[in-house]
Homo-oligomer: A and B are copies of this chain.
Amino acid sequence: MNAIDARLVELGIDLPTAMAPLANYVPYVVTGTLVVVSGQLPAVDGKVAVTGKVGAAVSVERGQEAARLCFANVLTHLRAACGGDLGRVRRVVRLGGFIASPPDFTQHATVMNGASDLAVAVFGDAGRHARSTIGVPALPLDAAVEVEGLFEID
């Protein structure tokens, strides 16, 4: 077992089963040493588990859990991109976070920490990433959060 998989076990994280893409695209593309992972929804067993707007029906804490779930789904695809070996990940380069929320919501960064904290918990210093987080009026399938990722691998 590589160090990253060991860390996942230690964190009690069982990566989710991949959710099928909603359309004619793929979950990730590798170009050179970069892996681009498609925007992931907070899916469990292939179904969106957290729907609605953060700051309205969805609390900030639940939004954080959603962001964490999104990143777990990103990891599922990243592992596939690495041929099963997350030990090949050299750096989490960038995460993009989209938070479905009303116009008066301002705690987007706090919500997105659910993803960022998991990245650092899993990869340590290599998990420290650039990030852009924005509010959006709605997401596919009424998901509360969507997270996309860019990674450097060996």
Binding site for B on A (CB under 8 A): 21-29, 31-34, 36-39, 53, 91-96, 98, 100-110, 112-113, 116-117, 119-120, 128-142, 146, 148, 150, 152
The 5 closest A-B pairs by CB, nearest first: A39-B132, A22-B109, A135-B138, A25-B131, A103-B137
**C-alpha spacing A109/B113, complex, angstroms:** 25
Contact between chains at A140 and B108 (CB < 8 Å): yes
**C-alpha spacing A131/B22, complex, angstroms:** 10
Contact between chains at B94 and A36 (CB < 8 Å): yes
The chain B residue sitting closest to A98, CB to CB, is B134
| Chain B proximity of A9: nearest CB distance (Å) | 22
| Chain B proximity of A150: nearest CB distance (Å) | 7
| Chain B proximity of A40: nearest CB distance (Å) | 9
| Chain B proximity of A145: nearest CB distance (Å) | 11
**C-alpha spacing A69/B81, complex, angstroms:** 31
**C-alpha spacing A103/B110, complex, angstroms:** 21
